[in-house]
């Protein structure tokens, strides 16, 4: 099993949805052969980690059976790991997490932060793998009903702190935990911008923050609203995604989760050059 690369810069996590119904690219990589080819392409385009998911978490999505999720992701993870590619698994199920790590994944990316499966924290502790705990309030079919905040930054920070404490009590080493504010999950519009603007506050939860803004609806609403036009579709949000990547890297994100790694790597390089020039004495 490969290990996560050292973070001398913001890392790039490439999204690989082995699903028929993901919001942006559902069905494009749903066959094992297509998914493996896409994973290799993501890595060659600059993804430091390829994140393989077998269950869509778009708003309104139905859950898949556990066996179906495992059958979707396992052959892809095993094949990519055998190619020397660093692989993570995007799952809320402890059963899938264990099978994926056994197949070569080195990171479990859990959008529920352990809330969807009471066995997840124990299993991750046993596996001794890195773990992304995302802010989450409900499954896809119900999550929009939980988009209520008096102070979104303070509440997300508090709820993520609770998750980190629970994970550590279950035996997950604190240095293994990566924090994700959960952009777009039970959050619409300006709530997401408040979280991005509060990255320095979120970094108080731990040194590794994952930002997953790629092609999300709040970007489409922002870039379509300025001139009074309709929100942009998912396929027309890549430039906005790159802008978020640049700013996230500038503000110290550990990694960004994106559909297209190449522009993300370029954005990270530009942000690093700017920071280096700013910090270099004349």
**179/148 Cα distance (integer angstroms):** 21
Sign for the CA dihedral angle at 81, 108, 211, 232 comes to positive
Choice among 38, 98, 208, 216 that is catalytic: 216
Q: If you ran DSSP here, which 8-state letter would residue 275 be given?
A: H
- Our CA dihedral for 102, 103, 104, 110, rounded to 10 degrees, sits at -70
Query: Known catalytic residue: 257?
Result: yes
Longest distance between any two alpha carbons in the chain, whole Å: 60
Report angle CA 130, 49, 232 to the nearest 5 degrees: 115
CA atoms within 13 A on the CB side of 280: 7
Crossing angle (nearest 10°) for helices 120-127 and 152-169 = 60
Choice among 93, 176, 187, 257 that is catalytic: 257
Query: Known catalytic residue: 216?
Result: yes
Q: Which residues are known catalytic residues?
A: 216, 257
């Amino acid at each position: 099993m490969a290990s996560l690369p050292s973070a001398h810069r913001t890392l790039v996590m490439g999204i690989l949805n082995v699903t028929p119904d993901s919001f942006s690219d559902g069905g494009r990589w749903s066959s094992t052969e297509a998914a493996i080819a896409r994973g290799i392409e993501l890595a060659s385009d600059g993804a430091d980690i390829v994140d393989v998911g077998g269950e869509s978490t778009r708003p309104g999505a139905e859950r898949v059976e556990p066996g179906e999720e495992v059958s979707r992701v396992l052959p892809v993870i095993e094949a990519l790991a055998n190619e020397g590619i660093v692989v993570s698994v995007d799952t809320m199920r402890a059963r899938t997490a264990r099978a994926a790590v056994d197949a070569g994944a080195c990171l479990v990316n859990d959008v529920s932060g352990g809330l969807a499966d009471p066995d997840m924290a124990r299993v991750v502790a046993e596996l001794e793998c890195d773990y992304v705990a995302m802010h989450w309030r409900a499954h896809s079919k119900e999550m929009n009903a939980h988009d209520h905040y008096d102070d979104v930054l303070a509440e997300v920070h508090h709820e993520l702190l609770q998750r980190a404490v629970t994970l550590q009590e279950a035996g997950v080493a604190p240095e293994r935990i990566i924090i994700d504010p959960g952009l777009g999950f039970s959050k619409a519009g300006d709530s997401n911008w408040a979280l991005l603007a509060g990255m320095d506050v979120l970094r108080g939860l731990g040194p590794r923050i994952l930002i997953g803004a790629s092609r999300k609806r709040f970007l489409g609403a922002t870039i379509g609203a300025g001139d009074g036009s309709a929100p942009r579709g998912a396929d027309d949000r890549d430039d906005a995604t790159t802008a978020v990547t640049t700013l996230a890297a500038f503000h110290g994100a550990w990694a960004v989760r994106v559909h297209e790694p190449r522009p993300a790597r370029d954005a990270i390089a530009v942000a690093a050059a700017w920071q280096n020039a700013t910090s270099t004495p004349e």
